[in-house]
Amino acid sequence: MSDAYRWQWNCNEDKDLSHRERTIPLDCASEIDPSAMDVSAEPAHSCKLSDHGPVVPTTPLVIFLERIQETALKTFGPMKFDPKLYVDLSLKFDLPIVKQAFNDLAKTANGSVLPSDFNDFLNKYMNGAEKDLEYVKPIDFIAEPEGFLPKVAHQGVKNWALEVHSLWKNLSRKVSDKVLKHSELHTLLPLKHPVIIPGSRFQEVYYWDSYWVIRGLLTSKMYETAKGIIFNLIDLIETYGYVLNGARAYYTNRSQPPLLSSMVIEVYKQTHDMDLVKKALPALIKEHKFWNSGIHVVAIEDAQGTIHNLSRYYAMWNKPRPESFTIDTETAIKILKNCEKEKVYREIASAAESGWDFSTRWMKDTSDLTTLSTTMILPVDLNTFIYKMELDISFLAKVSGKTSDSLQFKEASKARKKAMDAVFWNKEKGQWFDYWLDPDSNRKEDVYTWDAKYQNQDIFASNFIPLWVRFQDKTLVKKVAQSLQSSGLIRAAGVATSLTNSSQQWDFPNGWAPLQHMIVEGLVLSGSEEAKLLAKDIAIKWIRTNYVVYKNKNVNAMHEKYDVTKCGEFGGGGEYVPQTGFGWSNGVVLAFLEEFGWAQDLDPQCQ
Ligand X SMILES: OC[C@H]1O[C@H](O[C@H]2O[C@H](CO)[C@@H](O)[C@H](O)[C@H]2O)[C@H](O)[C@@H](O)[C@@H]1O
Q: DSSP 3-state assignment of 300?
A: strand
- Judge contact between 393 and 409, C-beta under 8 A: yes
The nearest distance, CB 50 to ligand X, in angstroms, is 23
Residue 388 lies near ligand X (rule: CB under 6 A): no
DSSP annotation of 101 reads H
Nearer to ligand X, 58 or 528 (CB): 58
Residue 314 lies near ligand X (rule: CB under 6 A): no
**Catalytic annotation present for 33:** no
Residue 525 lies near ligand X (rule: CB under 6 A): no
Residues sharing a CB contact under 8 Å with residue 525, sequence separation 6 or more, in sequence order: 468, 471
Nearer to ligand X, 209 or 521 (CB): 209
Residue 208 lies near ligand X (rule: CB under 6 A): yes
Nearer to ligand X, 355 or 522 (CB): 355
Site string for ligand X, 230-259 (x = CB under 6 A): ---------------xx-------------
Question: Dmax of the chain from CA atoms?
Answer: 74
Residues sharing a CB contact under 8 Å with residue 260, sequence separation 6 or more, in sequence order: 207, 230, 233, 234, 237, 243, 280, 283, 284, 287, 389
Residue 198 lies near ligand X (rule: CB under 6 A): yes
Residue 204 lies near ligand X (rule: CB under 6 A): no
Count H helices and E strands in the chain, helices first.
Answer: 19, 16
* Cα(134)–Cα(169) distance, integer angstroms: 12
* Cα(541)–Cα(607) distance, integer angstroms: 9
Which of residues 64, 148, 206, 212 is near ligand X by CB under 6 A?
206
Q: CB under 6 A: which stretch of 33-41, 352-360, 475-483, 536-544 binds ligand X?
A: 352-360
Catalytic member of 51, 340, 381, 560: 560
* Cα(485)–Cα(505) distance, integer angstroms: 23
- Judge contact between 545 and 606, C-beta under 8 A: yes
Nearer to ligand X, 340 or 357 (CB): 357
The nearest distance, CB 495 to ligand X, in angstroms, is 16
The nearest distance, CB 143 to ligand X, in angstroms, is 27
Q: Which of 280, 175, 267 is nearest to 217 (CA)?
A: 267
- Judge contact between 102 and 69, C-beta under 8 A: no
- Binding residues for ligand X, rule CB under 6 A, total 14
Which of residues 352, 412, 423, 461 is near ligand X by CB under 6 A?
352
**81 backbone dihedrals φ, ψ, rounded to 5°:** -85, 125
Q: Which of 265, 286, 271 is nearest to 211 (CA)?
A: 265
The nearest distance, CB 534 to ligand X, in angstroms, is 25
* Cα(152)–Cα(597) distance, integer angstroms: 4
Question: Which residue type does 456 have?
Answer: N
The nearest distance, CB 357 to ligand X, in angstroms, is 4
Q: Using CB atoms, what's the residue nearest to ligand X?
A: 352
The nearest distance, CB 209 to ligand X, in angstroms, is 5
Which of residues 357, 390, 507, 594 is near ligand X by CB under 6 A?
357
Q: CB under 6 A: which stretch of 136-144, 321-329, 410-418, 485-493 binds ligand X?
A: 321-329
C-alpha dihedral, 269 to 272 to 273 to 274, nearest 10° = 110
> Can you say whether the dihedral through the CA atoms of 103, 105, 111, 115 is positive or negative?
negative
DSSP annotation of 301 reads E
Nearer to ligand X, 268 or 358 (CB): 358
Burial class for 275, CB neighbours closer than 10 Å (0-12, 13-18, 19+)? exposed
Nearer to ligand X, 138 or 355 (CB): 355
Q: CB under 6 A: which stretch of 206-214, 277-285, 413-421, 545-553 binds ligand X?
A: 206-214
Residue 323 lies near ligand X (rule: CB under 6 A): yes
The nearest distance, CB 24 to ligand X, in angstroms, is 21
The nearest distance, CB 147 to ligand X, in angstroms, is 29
Nearer to ligand X, 405 or 507 (CB): 507
Nearer to ligand X, 202 or 291 (CB): 202
Residue 320 lies near ligand X (rule: CB under 6 A): no
Nearer to ligand X, 352 or 397 (CB): 352
The nearest distance, CB 507 to ligand X, in angstroms, is 12
Nearer to ligand X, 349 or 397 (CB): 349
The nearest distance, CB 563 to ligand X, in angstroms, is 16
Which of residues 52, 84, 388, 416 is near ligand X by CB under 6 A?
84
Nearer to ligand X, 189 or 300 (CB): 189
Residue 321 lies near ligand X (rule: CB under 6 A): yes
* Cα(475)–Cα(94) distance, integer angstroms: 63
Residues sharing a CB contact under 8 Å with residue 76, sequence separation 6 or more, in sequence order: 115, 118
The nearest distance, CB 315 to ligand X, in angstroms, is 9
Residue 324 lies near ligand X (rule: CB under 6 A): yes
Residue 216 lies near ligand X (rule: CB under 6 A): no
Q: CB under 6 A: which stretch of 187-195, 200-208, 419-427, 529-537 binds ligand X?
A: 200-208
- Judge contact between 581 and 201, C-beta under 8 A: no
Residue 385 lies near ligand X (rule: CB under 6 A): no
Catalytic member of 209, 357, 405, 563: 357
Residue 202 lies near ligand X (rule: CB under 6 A): yes
**Catalytic annotation present for 560:** yes
Q: CB under 6 A: which stretch of 198-206, 218-226, 284-292, 376-384 binds ligand X?
A: 198-206
Angle at 354 between CA 350 and CA 357, to 5 degrees: 80
DSSP annotation of 110 reads T
Q: CB under 6 A: which stretch of 186-194, 201-209, 301-309, 367-375 binds ligand X?
A: 201-209
Helix-helix angle 95-103:60-76, to 10 degrees: 30
Return the HEC string of 411-475. HHHHHHHHHHHHHCEECCCCEECCEECCCCCCCECCEEECCHHHECCCCEHHHHHHHHCCCCCHH
Q: Which of 356, 386, 106 is nearest to 242 (CA)?
A: 386
Binding residues for ligand X (CB under 6 A): 84, 198, 202, 206, 208-209, 245-246, 321, 323-324, 352, 355, 357
- Residues designated as active site: 357, 560
